[in-house]
Chain A
Amino acid sequence: MIAAYLVLLIPLIGIVFFAFAGHRADTGRINVRFNAICLLATVWLAINVLNDGTILSANKAFLIDSFNVYLIVLTAFVGFTTSIFSAPYMAHEKDIGRLTDKRLKLYYSMYQGFMLAMYLVLTTNNMGTMWVAMEGATLATVLLVSLYRTPESIEAAWKYFILCGVGIAQALFGTILLYYAAAQIGDGENALLWSVLYDNTEKLNPEVLEIAFVFLLIGYGTKIGLVPLHNWLPDAHSEGPTPMSAVLSGLLLNDALYAVVRNKMLVDGATHSNMAGYLMMGFGLLSFLVAALFLHRQKDIKRLFSYSSIEHMGLMTFAFGMGGPLATFAALLHMTVHSLTKSAIFVTVGHASQIAGTQSMDKIRGLIKTQPRVGWGLLIGTIAIAGFPPFGVFTSEFLVLLATMHNYPWLAPLLLLGIGIAFAGLFRHIQPMVYGEKPEHQQPIKANLWPVMIHLALVLWLGLAIPGFLAHWFSQATLLISGSAPL
């Protein structure tokens, strides 16, 4: 349990430290160290869970089980590799005069603040605290979206703030209804604890929970970026600094989906109908298809990949909604591989736009000729996210497709169509950017591509063979969520 407290304590110290000492020249490296220590703490936590099973803290405030433990490690890992990327990236942004010392201080402090909110969403056992942390994640990142202080970035941040704020308020109404249902069966202060609720789902009032789930799905769905609540996402991702886009896409969306699934488990237990599942399937499939179509219309490279994130989150929501062991297993795997791949892509996108000096895709050309590693990184990342074998995204998408063919065969053509459209949408933009002649005065920049290589190697590994301990967690989590073991 000490490990769990450490995971929360380290970013808390980080916030305070950077708020006072964020102007030092080596803050980038210190940020890497904070995240590295945190990663070690999460690995320690993971080993504990692997040995002892589910951990419930003494005051029941924190719960670590097989569903959230791998997400915690994933969060720490992506946070760590992104911080490696962010150090030279932010130094470069400062050199070209886009940022000042004061804003860097804010950036590093809020980076840790965001990490803290993410860990809190994942570790907490209290559905109310989960909401508070989710809102906290918005508040921590909203000033980072407007970090460059351009009119566009301020507009994006305002939109992000208002839409996510109003959206997440719906989730609070859902949580209040959940608490109301729980208070009817007694247990006062403990009534919002997930572990208590989960043991008593049979007694919860199904009518109240059905209404509550609609609000919870809309609320957290705004954060997942489900269509038609997705408007903030491409703006916030494209206008903020690139490391922020990497963690938003890789972590925030996952955690919002995690919150929805936790709530779905309660609602399913109470209602005995698949109402929650159908809602998630509908929203998920709609997001998947709409985002795939929108990929074709993009002009800004970061907007392109934010729509790709919406598409993948839609697919995961769909898979979780479908339920059943196979689809749930696939969705868990897809959460992992998507966040690894997407954060790797955003890192290369950051380098590519620094090389070209713009985010406009019409002006980024000849990346392989200018700096082969960035070019290949972007190309391989795109191949991985588009769902080519042998990468992990292929495996999980294939499993989702299998489950769909098994349960809802008439939806399978729609899925295939969406995957095809998304593939075409990505490659029509990426191909001219990586190949082709380089513009005359385009120079390579100082770039650290280790994070990208490690991420893509992991995705490849997950596509070829899932390591035993991870498969164990996935199976345990599948058992927990869907009620039966996979395969």
Chain B
Amino acid sequence: MNIEQQDLYTQAILSLAALVGLTSFLMLGQSRLLRLIFVFAMQGSLLALTAGLAAYSQANHHLYISAVMTLMLKVIFIPWMLRREVIQMNTQRDIETLKNKTLLMLGGASLMVFSYWVLHPIVHTSPAIMLNALAVSLSVVLLGMLLMITHRQAVAHVVGFMSIENGLFFAAIVATNGMPMVVELGIAFDVLVAAVLFGIFFFHIRTSIDSLDVDKLNRLNEVDK
């Protein structure tokens, strides 16, 4: 596939896919919480841009609504809430020590290769752009999980969780021009409720263990103590 032979829309989507993937890597290696939240907001705005672009060039008007919802939820509301939480906990200057960053990045890169490998069978029946778009979305999902595994702060877990949602949303826009409207509204509602619940949880966790370090949530396990 030669990118110059594609139409402008495809080229734009492919570039945006690359940028979305890049933001995921940036988040993965980020040890400062405020910067992590900033990159997350960047990823959200790239998504809103993708949705807007798809809405414009495919003349698919309900995607405008999705774009606006993404902008409000993932670029404004959730980053604002997380930022407030970090500042309240006075953890904005903390640097989280990530064990072996090189290995982490290599792990992330291999997840991306893995995503391409998993989705490769669809190449026979779909346009080539689809493989790229879907594989990038899947790798954003997997990188979000890796982010949650490697970071210890609850705020970072929420960012990972929401970036998984971002990956799914990207797949939905690019592969299928958005899900049916009912479903999309439902998903947005779920994300909103989840964000509010996370806010409530921060409060509970803070009052119960006096920190947002999830490694301290270790009372329940199968091993006899």
Contact (Cβ within 8 A) B190 A158: no
The residue of chain A having its C-beta at the shortest distance from the C-beta of B172 within the complex is A176
Whether, in the assembled complex, A49 has its beta carbon less than 8 Å from a beta carbon of chain B, the answer is no
Q: A146-B204, A189-B180 in contact; A151/B209 too (CB < 8 A)?
A: yes
Contact (Cβ within 8 A) B183 A129: yes
Interface positions of B from 165 to 215, Cβ below 8 Å from A: 165, 167-168, 171-172, 175-177, 179-183, 186-187, 189-190, 193-194, 197-198, 200-201, 204-205, 208-209, 214
Among candidates A154, A183, A207, A208, residue contacting B204 with C-beta atoms closer than 8 Å: A154
Q: A166-B145, A183-B176 in contact; A207/B190 too (CB < 8 A)?
A: no
Contact (Cβ within 8 A) A151 B219: yes
Pick from B4-12, B43-51, B90-98, B117-125 the stretch touching chain A.
B117-125
Which residues of chain B come closer than 8 Å to A435, judged between CB atoms? none
B128 to chain A, nearest CB (A): 15
Give the complex CA separation of A58 and B160 in angstroms: 41
Give the complex CA separation of A307 and B209 in angstroms: 28
Which residues of chain A come closer than 8 Å to B181, judged between CB atoms? 189
Contact (Cβ within 8 A) A128 B204: no
A359 to chain B, nearest CB (A): 13
Whether, in the assembled complex, B164 has its beta carbon less than 8 Å from a beta carbon of chain A, the answer is yes
Which residues of chain A come closer than 8 Å to B126, judged between CB atoms? 184, 208
Whether, in the assembled complex, A388 has its beta carbon less than 8 Å from a beta carbon of chain B, the answer is no
Whether, in the assembled complex, B220 has its beta carbon less than 8 Å from a beta carbon of chain A, the answer is yes
Contact (Cβ within 8 A) B222 A155: no
Pick from A134-142, A408-416, A450-458 the stretch touching chain B.
A134-142
A193 to chain B, nearest CB (A): 9
Whether, in the assembled complex, B138 has its beta carbon less than 8 Å from a beta carbon of chain A, the answer is yes
Whether, in the assembled complex, B32 has its beta carbon less than 8 Å from a beta carbon of chain A, the answer is no
B77 to chain A, nearest CB (A): 17
Give the complex CA separation of A486 and B225 in angstroms: 50
Number of B residues contacting the other chain (C-beta, 8 Å)? Answer: 51
Number of A residues contacting the other chain (C-beta, 8 Å)? Answer: 49
Interface positions of A from 131 to 169, Cβ below 8 Å from B: 131-133, 135-136, 139, 142-143, 146, 149-152, 154-159, 161-162, 165-166, 169
Contact (Cβ within 8 A) A162 B187: no
Whether, in the assembled complex, B116 has its beta carbon less than 8 Å from a beta carbon of chain A, the answer is no
Interface positions of A from 162 to 180, Cβ below 8 Å from B: 162, 165-166, 169-170, 172-173, 176-177, 179-180
Which residues of chain A come closer than 8 Å to B172, judged between CB atoms? 176, 179
Give the complex CA separation of A138 and B172 in angstroms: 22
Among candidates A133, A176, A207, A235, residue contacting B171 with C-beta atoms closer than 8 Å: A176
Contact (Cβ within 8 A) B141 A173: yes
Give the complex CA separation of A359 and B90 in angstroms: 38
Give the complex CA separation of A184 and B183 in angstroms: 19
Which residues of chain A come closer than 8 Å to B183, judged between CB atoms? 126, 128-129, 131-132, 192
* Residues of A bordering B, CB below 8 Å: 61, 126, 128-129, 131-133, 135-136, 139, 142-143, 146, 149-152, 154-159, 161-162, 165-166, 169-170, 172-173, 176-177, 179-180, 183-184, 189, 191-192, 205, 207-208, 210-211, 235, 239, 294, 297
Please provide the 6 A-B residue pairs with the shortest distance between their CB atoms, ordered closest to farther: A128-B183, A132-B186, A155-B217, A207-B121, A151-B208, A180-B175
Given contacts A126-B182, A128-B179, A155-B217, 11 further A-B contacts (CB under 8 A): A126-B183, A128-B183, A132-B187, A132-B189, A154-B205, A155-B220, A176-B168, A176-B171, A207-B122, A207-B125, A211-B119
* Residues of B bordering A, CB below 8 Å: 118-119, 121-122, 124-126, 130, 134, 137-138, 141, 145, 148, 154, 157, 161, 164-165, 167-168, 171-172, 175-177, 179-183, 186-187, 189-190, 193-194, 197-198, 200-201, 204-205, 208-209, 214, 217-220, 222
Can you give 8 A-B contacts (C-beta < 8 A)? A131-B183, A149-B204, A154-B217, A158-B217, A159-B217, A170-B141, A176-B176, A189-B180
